[in-house]
Amino acid sequence: MFFDALRNTVSPLKVLVLTCLVPCALTWGTQAQAKEPAKKASSQKVAVVAKAKPAKSVAKTTKVTASARGVSRSRKAATLVEVPAKASFGQMAGLHSASDPLDLRSSVALVVDQDTQEVLFRKNDQAVLPIASLTKLMTGLVMAEAKLPLHEVITISQEDVDTEKGSSSRLAVGTQLSRGDLLHLALMSSENRAAHALGRTFPGGLPQFVSRMNERAQTLGMRDTRYVEPTGLSSRNQSSANDLALLVGAAYKEPLLRELSTSPGREVDIGRKTLQYNNTNRLVKNPDWDIGLQKTGYISEAGQCLVMQTKVAGRKLIMVFLDSAGKLSRIADAERVRRWLESAPSSRASASHRNHQG
Residue 205 reports pLDDT greater than 70: yes
87-102 per-position pLDDT tens digit:
999 999 999 999 999 9
Q: Measuring CA to CA, which residue among 121, 130, 125, 126 is closest to residue 92?
A: 130
pLDDT at 137: 98
pLDDT at 268: 87
pLDDT at 273: 87
Q: What angle do CA 124, 126, 127 make, to 5 degrees?
A: 70
295-348 per-position pLDDT tens digit:
999 999 999 999 999 999 999 999 999 999 888 999 999 999 999 999 965 545
**46 burial via Cβ count (<10 Å: 0-12, 13-18, 19+):** middle
100 contacts 315 by C-beta, under 8 angstroms: no
Task: Give the containing element (helix H, strand E) for 355.
Answer: none
Sorted by where each starts, the structural domains of the chain and their CATH numbers stand as 2-79 (no CATH), 89-348 (3.40.710.10)
Q: How far apart are CA 5 and CA 47, in angstroms?
A: 44
Residue 182 reports pLDDT greater than 70: yes
Cβ neighbours, 10 Å, residue 304: 24
pLDDT at 272: 81
Q: How far apart are CA 129 and CA 106, in angstroms?
A: 12
260-297 per-position pLDDT tens digit:
999 999 998 888 889 899 999 999 999 999 999 999 99
Residue 253 reports pLDDT greater than 90: yes
Q: How far apart, in Å, do the first and last CA atoms of the chain sit?
A: 78
Residue 83 reports pLDDT greater than 80: no
pLDDT at 30: 41
Residue 51 reports pLDDT greater than 70: no
Q: Helix-strand-coil percent breakdown of the chain, rounded to 5?
A: 40, 20, 45
pLDDT at 219: 98
pLDDT at 64: 35
**Strand ranges inside the chain, DSSP E:** 106-113, 119-123, 129-130, 153-155, 176-178, 238-239, 265-270, 273-278, 291-299, 303-312, 315-324
pLDDT at 100: 93
- Of the ranges 7-16, 47-56, 84-93, 262-271, which one carries the lowest mean pLDDT score? 47-56
Q: What is the mean pLDDT of residues 96-124?
A: 96
Q: Which residues contact 28 (CB under 8 A, 6 or more apart)?
A: 61
Residue 16 reports pLDDT greater than 80: no
pLDDT at 346: 53
Q: Which active-site residues does the annotation give?
A: 133, 136, 190
Q: How far apart are CA 237 and CA 58, in angstroms?
A: 62
Mean pLDDT of the residues in the chain:
81
